Amino acid sequence: MLSAVERKIEQFVIELDDKEVRSLYAKLPVGKRLRAKLILRIAGSSLPVVKTAAIVEMIHAASLLHDDVIDDAYMRRNKPSLNALYGNKTAIMLGDILYSKGFFELNNISLDVAKLISNAVTQLSLGELKDVSLSKAFNPDKDAYMKMIYQKTASLIEASAGAAALLAGKPKVVFMTYGRNLGLAFQMIDDLLDITQDSATLGKPAMHDFVEGKTTLPYIYLYEVLDASGKEKLRSMHGRVLRDEELNWLKASFETHQILVKCYAQATELIDEAVELMNAQGEEALSEIAMEMIDREF
């Protein structure tokens, strides 16, 4: 069924009637297609469902293009990012084109689906802005961080599940709760992998998030348990390239205070709730997708 989504995305891009856009889009790496998988699993493979999945993946691709520019990221899935190859202006404009085409095609699905997805894109954009703001200084506020990852990551996954439920005549709120939990857990696991995985697996230096200025959940929890001098040391390391001894101190501190275990347990709790919701609906395939979120290496 994912192949039908890929063909529909290709059709949407061809309809733009621009050779440069077709060439640029062909260079984008194909990701996990998590949002499309969710939509197809919930709602089947009718034409409106396939179109919705394709639109959501185009919107997600657009957000990643903008994200790479914002983060000065020059690698995406172990390959040079589009902004690295062609510059920030080209990456931003391709993102805008994909967003615009996605919104245009939403009008051909249904008003309710269009409202749900477009609101999520507003939330996503607000999350991007909040991410930039929170990266200006060390952020010890867990609530601010959780709101940001809901907006930036979970909102579109939540809306994907809700849109699919609308198309399938299934209970929207239940499936949106599932999608929200999935999105939050997905980002929390990403935060952990940035610390635990090696550079080759990540496609970027390990602990790069903190160097970029992002105070993710493990660093917030570590800050909470450190003494005054430890807190000051952690703050002083924020947003800069770290020396080997500083990286080693971070790793040892995470281990001593069992920070990564705590973060993993919180993500698992969200997934357990999502699995319980889907099992109650007889949606075992969706429960399996949820479990994959906490068992992945990247």
Q: Domain holding 161: CATH number?
A: 1.10.600.10
**Pair (6, 80) in one structural domain:** yes
Q: Are 95 and 182 in the same domain?
A: no
Task: Give tens-digit pLDDT for 173-184.
Answer: 999 999 999 999
Domain stop point among 109, 130, 160 = 109
> What is the domain extent for residue 104?
1-109
Same domain, 31 and 130: no
62 lies in the same domain as 185: no
Judgement on whether residues 75 and 211 belong to the same structural domain of the protein: no
pTM across the whole model: 0.94
| Predicted local distance difference test score (pLDDT) of residue 203 | 53
pLDDT means per 10 residues in the chain (298 residues)?
A: 95 97 93 92 97 98 94 80 94 97 96 97 97 96 98 98 98 98 96 81 70 95 98 97 94 96 96 97 94 74
Residue type, 287: S
Domain end, chosen from 109, 127, 144, is at 109
Alpha helices (H) along the chain = 2-15, 19-26, 34-43, 47-70, 82-86, 88-106, 111-134, 142-149, 155-168, 172-196, 199-202, 208-212, 217-225, 228-237, 244-256, 259-280, 284-295
Residue that is last in its domain, among 109, 144, 170: 109
How many structural domains is the chain composed of?
2
